[in-house]
Amino acid sequence: MKTHALLLFLACLSFSSCAQKNAQNPYGLNVVNDYKVYKAAVAKNPNLALVDIKKAIPSVVLDIRYATKNNFMGQVMYQQASAFARKPVVEKLKLIQAELKKKGYGLKIFDAYRPYAVTISFYEKASDKNFVANPAKGSKHNRGCAVDLSIIDLKTGKDVPMPTPYDSFEAAASPHFADLPPNIIKNRDFLIRTMESNGFKVIYNEWWHFDFIGWQVYDLMDIPFGKL
């Protein structure tokens, strides 16, 4: 019995503590919500850092909808209009921004790292669960490994026309939806091709959402923006 208890104790240490793990969310996931734990991990592996995208790539345009009421929730979800992502993700975005600039375009970012608590709120209140991550699994956004974005025309500063607005629940939001004007398909496919040639993968129902290839090695996070 003592041996079993010791083994259980040692297993729990790998997740900080069983009690903390289960208390973090109703799904028993291992979610990092302690800033000191996060900083200690970054000290050992700098690639784990959640980097401020705008500071790393000043030319990027931010349109952080969840810091406003202009989103599908109709309420402010973020206390500041910031975008963070893991260091390797930001390094790839920097390369993409340079590539786009040569062609007269630039990135506009709607969302990136998303604290896990926000994912729970989304799922509870969304009318269409197909367009929000299930908190029982967590989101790539929670890992700092997903970005929601589009492109702008650098000459005009205007958005390049895409199939739907950001966060649309329409069928046309699918990156494979074909009943669209040729120029819209061309714009969408150009964005997807650019992102996928630089280490990202578009998801099946949102032309704007790109997962970083290699996201599996990053923990789910619930560190508020204000601490980053």
Each residue of 49-99: pLDDT tens digit?
999 999 999 999 999 999 999 988 888 999 999 999 999 999 999 999 999
- Give dist(CA 59, CA 121) in Å, integer: 31
pLDDT at 25: 66
Tell me the pLDDT band of 24, cut-offs 50, 70 and 90.
Answer: low
Above 80 in pLDDT, residue 1? no
Contact 92, 144 (CB under 8 A): no
User: Would you say the C-alpha torsion 204, 207, 209, 211 has a positive or negative sign?
Assistant: positive
A 10 A CB-CB count for 141 gives: 26
Give the mean model confidence (pLDDT) for residues 188-200.
Answer: 98
> Residues 102-111: pLDDT tens digits?
999 999 999 9
For residue 133, what pLDDT band results from cuts at 50, 70 and 90?
Answer: confident
pLDDT average, residue stretch 188-204: 97
What mean pLDDT value characterizes the chain?
Answer: 88
Label residue 41 exposed, middle or buried (CB < 10 Å: 0-12, 13-18, 19+): middle
Is the pLDDT confidence value at 191 over 60? Answer: yes
Are the C-beta atoms of residues 145 and 215 closer than 8 Å to each other? yes
pTM for the predicted model, two decimal places = 0.86
Residue 162: name the closest of 187, 140, 129 by CA.
187
